Amino acid sequence: MRLLRKSTGFFLIIMFITLFSFTLIGLINEFNAFQSITSIVKESVYEEDFVFHSNSYIYDEDGEIISDVYSNENRIYVPYNDIPQMFLYAMIATEDRNFFSHKGFDMAGITRALFINAEKQGIEQGGSTITQQLVKNIYLSNERSYNRKLTEVLYAYHLENLFSKEDILEFYANTIYFQNGVYGIEAASRFYFSKSAKQLSVSELAFLAAIPNNPTLYNPMISPENTHRRKEWILTKMFEMNYLTEEQFKTAKSEKIALTPTKKVDRFPDYITYIHFELEQLVGEQDGFNTEIALATTTEEKSVLLEKRRLRVDQLLKSGIHIYTGFQSEKQNQVIQTIKKHLPENDIQGVAVMINHYTHEIVAITGGKDFNKFDFHRGFQAYRQPGSSIKPLLVFAPYFAETNSPINKSISAAPFCKDSYCPQNYGGSVYGNVRIDVALKHSYNTAAVRMLDEITVEKGFSYLEKFNFAKTVDEDYRLPAALGGLTFGVSPLELTKAYTTFANDGIFQDARGIQKVVDQNGKLLYQWEDKPKQVWSSEVNEKMLNLLTKVVTEGTGRKANFTSSYIGGKTGTTNEFFDLWFVGLTENYTTGVWVGQDQPQSLASINSRSPHLLIWRDIMKE
């Protein structure tokens, strides 16, 4: 009975082969004569389908990779000329010997597979060509059925007419799966051997070529013995097809394979999280999304535009872009360790932003202690009241610019009241007339409010507006703003950026993390086009540098002082010690430090030790 079933099976298979062959030949011959299934296939295949995801990279200022950006598919797309020829030979020798002569399908291979399937009484082999396997990877499922096989053949035939053999090999080598989330030969080489595929030996290439046939069975991380056995078989097939000389064959067979697996590069989560944010802003700015978002009249319209911008960035990251930054790992590590050192308390947070004020680049930024990637980032997402750290920007520099007063001009620090607003100095102290430089270095509140009132709130804010603080609103235009009384506040990044103006002769230029974004071929895609703005004159700026130095050497910022060719800055403390600030500069860098709790509470218990000043001092010492 079993023999009869087998004989019947072979007979049916032979009949199917005959019918299939004649049908397929007929379809091909009549391809241009009538609308058929191949026409449907043709209409379903687009060249865009063969644009594949590739890893993107973020680099530091020295060109070292600090983040390898991909989600589920680890792929490094490489062109045909960068794919090792021996790898292609290995795949052809074992998967598709007639690759260069068939038109997408191999009748001999299909026939052989059909007989084996009849022998096993099931679908054991597919007889698929490399082109068919490419079709399956892109368009079809892994279902094993004759209907799917016919569809696969028709798709493959059309691909062979649409692309060259080299194109198909390029697509194939970049799409096949190598287990452990790795796709394509280049990513596989770097993942398993920590080097480019072009650097691999014949034996190593054959070893990798073993995996895609059955990624689970031949997973080198779990079953290396299986991978080695198939590698030996692949080398033999390559030798049989004269892809290897006898000497190459013997050398490859005797070579010992040593895996040196690498993990995904994803360091410095604080900085990387910020760069992802800035990339979205950069793309939004240059592709017009930001303008449209600003003009949106409804929440729904704005949400749609935000999603379009996000999808555009996601598309870019999947295309394999290279993002170059001004990041300095030594500075970043120093900032993180310094904050931990001076803020051992679990419930108290601290962040710092460090900017090279000559290059206008953000060289370090933290999101908080023990920060995890894409968490809430206090460096640029936390908006807090700036306290007296706003005075140089909103009050003193504008006052000099409007009145042309000298720094030794006398100003009243006596009690002040206007429209029921009566600010007090720290500790309730009362003063008389003081010099302007003394008023800043000791941060007398009544003097600052009186100065803003003299030049008018509107005039003071006309200078502050040039710094692009994101959350200043009309309600902020009032005298309490002189002491940092803002509706939403400012972020550490914003405030630090604004202070770079003092290092640049009164000129403000937005500081950025991203230098440029290029595609896989090095073509420039995006670059910031910030234009410098003269906020106040060189004469005003010189006065401010003088005053900021006195804050550090003689005033409220003394604990931040150390020997430097230039040093200056300003402290800021909000009501009930909810926030502690210090923003200052030396010859090369401007750095801002914020200390506080996520849910504002008094920091009176640590205020006396001035952690914000000590953090800034230790960061800025070189």
Clarify whether 141 is annotated catalytic: no
Per-residue pLDDT, 334: 97
pLDDT at 518 over 90: yes
Read off the pLDDT band of 153 (50, 70, 90): confident
pLDDT at residue number 15: 53
Q: What is the pLDDT of residues 357-414, one digit of tens each?
A: 999 999 999 999 999 999 999 999 999 999 999 999 999 999 999 999 999 999 999 9
Site of tokens 């005075």: 391
- Could you read off the pLDDT of 462-491 as tens digits, one per residue? 999 999 999 999 999 999 999 999 999 999
Q: How far apart are CA 344 and CA 383, in angstroms?
A: 23
Region 1-15: mean pLDDT is 51
Higher pLDDT among residues 449 and 107, named by residue = 449
The pLDDT tens digits of the residues spanning 560-598 come to 999 999 999 999 999 999 999 999 999 999 999 999 999
| Range of weakest confidence among 121-135, 275-289, 334-348, 561-575 | 121-135
Strand 56-59 versus strand 65-69 pairing type: antiparallel
Region of residue 53 (left: phi > 0; alpha: psi -120 to 50; beta: else): beta
Cβ neighbours of residue 605 closer than 8 Å, sequence gap 6 or more: none
At residue 139, the pLDDT reads 79
Q: For position 408, what pLDDT does the model report? A: 97
Residue 461: band (very low, low, confident or very high) from pLDDT cuts 50, 70, 90: very high
Side-chain half-sphere of 436: how many Cα atoms within 13 Å?
Answer: 23
What is residue 155's predicted lDDT score, i.e. its pLDDT?
86
Q: Rounded distance, CA 90 to CA 30, Å? A: 36
For residue 71, the model assigns a pLDDT of 78
Q: Which of 54, 56, 95, 128 is catalytic?
A: 95
Range 233-245 average pLDDT:
97
At residue 123, the pLDDT reads 38
- pLDDT given for residue 31 in this prediction: 40
Comparing 260 with 103, the larger pLDDT belongs to 260
pLDDT averaged over every residue in the chain: 91
Mean pLDDT of 144-170: 81
Q: Is the pLDDT of residue 30 over 70?
A: no
Structure confidence at residue 288 as a pLDDT band (50, 70, 90): very high
pLDDT tens for each residue of 290-306: 999 999 999 999 999 99
Closest CA to 354 of 513, 184, 191, 460: 513
**What is the distance between the alpha carbons of residues 394 and 482, in angstroms, rounded to a whole number?**
7
pLDDT per residue as tens digits for the range 82-116: 999 999 999 999 999 999 999 888 776 666 656 65
Task: Name which residue leads in pLDDT, 25 or 373.
Answer: 373
- Distance between CA atoms of residues 509 and 566, nearest Å: 21
Instruction: Assign 3-class secondary structure to 179-247.
Output: CCCEECHHHHHHHHHCCCHHHCCHHHHHHHHCCCCCCCCCCCCCCHHHHHHHHHHHHHHHHHCCCCCHH
What would the pLDDT profile of 331-364 be if each residue is shown by its tens digit? 999 999 999 999 999 999 999 999 999 999 999 9
Contact 138, 50 (CB under 8 A): yes
β-pair type (579-586, 507-508): unpaired
Residue-level pLDDT at 152:
80
Instruction: Give the start-end residues of each E strand in 558-607.
Output: 567-573, 579-586, 589-596
The predicted structure's pLDDT at residue 39:
60
Rounded Cα–Cα distance for residues 131 and 102 (Å):
10
How many angstroms separate the CA atoms of 490 and 510, rounded? 15
- 71 among known catalytic residues: no
Q: Across the beta sheet with 322-325, what order do the strands follow?
A: 65-69, 56-59, 322-325, 514-518, 524-526
Contact 53, 182 (CB under 8 A): no
Q: Is 322 left (phi over 0), alpha (psi -120 to 50) or beta?
A: beta
pLDDT tens by residue, 44-69: 565 666 778 999 999 999 999 999 99
| CA 303 – CA 300 distance, rounded (Å) | 5
d(CA 172, CA 175): 5
The mean per-residue pLDDT over the stretch 444-469 comes to 98
Confidence band (pLDDT; 50, 70, 90) for 35?
very low
**What is the DSSP code string of 41-95?**
HHHH--GGGG---B-EEEE-TTS-EEEEE-SS-EE----GGGS-HHHHHHHHHHH
- CB-CB contact of 609 with 419 (8 Å): no
Cβ neighbors of 535 (< 8 A, separation 6 or more) are 397, 463, 466, 467, 501, 506, 507, 508
Residue 613 has pLDDT above 60, yes or no: yes
Q: Stretch 514-526: mean pLDDT, rounded?
A: 97
Catalytic residue, candidates 56, 128, 203, 388: 388
Where does the pLDDT of residue 145 fall: very low under 50, low under 70, confident under 90, or very high at 90 and above? very low
Residues in the chain: 622
| One-letter identity of residue 281 | Q
Indicate whether 40 pLDDT > 80: no
Given this model, what pLDDT does residue 460 score?
98
Q: Look up the pTM and report it.
A: 0.88
Give the H or E element holding residue 411: strand 410-412
The pair of structure tokens assigned to 535 is 């906020």
- Strand partners of residue 579: 596
